[in-house]
Structure 1
């Protein structure tokens, strides 16, 4: 437990962190990787290059400062980040190193304003926050291991099949190299693939949604090929052009809190943009086997007709669900955008809505849902990248 004086100091410095948080976390990552370059085998280089990891950490530190007297208020964020950490193989021994460099970064950016008293208070607060993450992640590791066929950290998988879905997306069917049974996952979850690319100094980790319903003998991920020079391009180009059937890579156990609510009887709506369709495919296929009569709307927007994927699979699911409708939109055509009017006309009142796609797409869709009266408990979303704040107006 933190002392009252410590909590007061942390709360009083929250406004400073709100202003200087991004500068602090930028310095933090720079110094951390200079001293411990081996950690670049864990962190996503693309998120670092785009500044997303720095922003995510700044948001988390600020939220912790604001709620230091009641950290349970940020428990949903802690769990979301813990899922990502567990998927990446973050260990308890990493936290003291992170704490050391975070405090040094606060001191470097704030200078004399970061008094010894402030640094000491933040050191104590970090210890409590880190402990919450360590305990939460350890429970997740144990849960992943306890499943039949489960494991901790990473395990070798073989590419059993590689399928072209459209001119930008390729699906990879991954099976355990040891031939053991696959643990069941929750519809909407993701795995991390850890890749050693020839000529690259460090390992690359990418989290990809599982794009089919659980229960199959392989995990399927569906990867969009990014252009050369794009921060994500080095991995997606390698997967598309060099990874072959029979090759192996390291895979983490499924993780993530973006999951289909299995007990609700309310109508369901899936709204996706681009490759954001992948976790929703897993949910959609699952509904067809668990609750085929559920009233369901699946709305998907792609850049053009050539960028749509999973057409035959969607048709097969629709054939099993008499109360389901699929809407295919192309953003390069007139009226091809998912706007508030379209949502109002095609998403049933009281639906549980699942949204996934580019950040700007999700901000627009989710804000439209809130404006139409949908509540935070009804709107569920996932985006690709570190946990970060969307500009939402609930």
Structure 2
């Protein structure tokens, strides 16, 4: 329990960062439409650019997340957390200053680069920090608290966006993200899991054992090995049949979810003229339902039904959710489909556990 209290500064920094990130989501659709297709409720260019951005970010995340994670083993979690958290501030500042077309394009480019560095990195580094500082028996509780903090950040950030103007949304988000970085740099203690000499025997030989040239060669090899090769990824998939199957399921599910997230808000705007307020309402309902499901429903059903059945339920309900969205005939239908969030959230935990 003492170890969990020591993670308070990490949880606070993640909460602030998450609030700033989620706060702009309901507003960005209207901003994008105004910048690319002013005065219109339909804009193919906005959907194409959003899809392109998501593809680039996904590719960059695959390369950069393992690299940054491995660098954090050597240079520390706090030091590497600073990079993506700082990078996320700049795009928010741009839209806080102006949302004209030229500023939007600058935001688009910098947001893409920042997301490549931080999209999955911050969550992974936060989990690694928890693992560094909490004994094995208490990690499950600590991971659960971190998940709850992220859910709270989603709810709080969306709630703030619901009641303030679009212009103020980006100003507040930029300010909160700055506070998150400053708070993290001041209060969070560094964590370097490989700081002791025994953890790095290959680089700590005496001068009599390893000459200078060999030492430099080993050091260069050590740096290059931080980047996983295609062979490494294939070997990892071949190492476990269950892991490979879970990876395939997760890939196609994330592909479908990514397509839905890219186009859904634009579809609702074109079909029912939704704006930031309606988007925030939907996101709040989904966030609260998903949180309750993870905290209450899933722990009750998992021992009874098993993880495979829960995964099947989550995948089927996710498909049904997308199908109903595509047939939405009235503005109340998107609100009604939010009940599916109770079951869709089963997919990710089940895949991770496999």
Normalization by structure 2: what TM-score? 0.27
Asked which structure has the greater RCO (Cα within 8 Å, sep 6+), the reply is 2
Larger proportion of strand: 1
Normalization by structure 1: what TM-score? 0.25
